[in-house]
Amino acid sequence: MSSLDLYLASTSPRRCELLTIAGLRFQLCAPGAEYLAGAGHEHASELGDPRALAQARARRKGLGATVLSPDIPILAVDTVVDLDGLELGKPRDREQAAAMLQQLAGRRHLVHTAHFVWLPASGHRVTQLASAEVACAEPDPAALQHYLDSQQWRGKAGSYGVQDDEQAFFRVVSGSFDTVVGLHIAAVRELLQTVRASS
């Protein structure tokens, strides 16, 4: 019996924290390439259905992961911000972050987190997409500048983290809070159970 529940193919400290809080035993592993060669990079806002983009990236991360044991499930995850059917990627710099936050201000948008779990030993693969709706208030200029100064927007889809303590203008309207943070624990538990049952 392995002491691990899963390998996490991710470099996200937020996903590590969510798994730790949930009591799941995991080990980090290097994820596969997130984007197809020449197709984009972490700061790109790719064209296409944001749901499908998230699922494709999660799958590539998981299938390309490097692990020690084929008998332990691999979890890979990807989160996208969906504004009216268009993806908002991760900001390159403060200027782009400010522009994205202005796009979101006073509006509602969706956040999709795709989960991909597979067991190399059996080849069994399962996926689940979790979505949530987020509302963004109209931050006053001082609040917006304060958040930009905090640097907490760096490396985050849509230029924000709903959990960030330096902002108070984003709130989850429907769906799970952890989906917006970047990993839905209920989905992970369900997928792990499905993979184990098939092995």
Q: What is the pLDDT of residues 75-89, one digit of tens each?
A: 999 999 999 999 999
What band does 1 get if pLDDT is binned at 50, 70 and 90? very low
What band does 36 get if pLDDT is binned at 50, 70 and 90? low
Instruction: Please state which architecture CATH assigns to domain 6-198.
Output: Alpha-Beta Complex (3.90)
Residue 172: what pLDDT? 98
Residues marked as catalytic:
78
Q: Is 105 helix (H, G, I), strand (E, B) or coil?
A: coil
The residue type of 103 is Q
Please, what is the Cα angle at 12 between 86 and 173, to 5 degrees? Answer: 50
b/e per residue 82-108 (b: at least 16 CB within 10 A):
bbeeebbbbbeeeebbbebbebbeeee
pLDDT at 71 over 50: yes
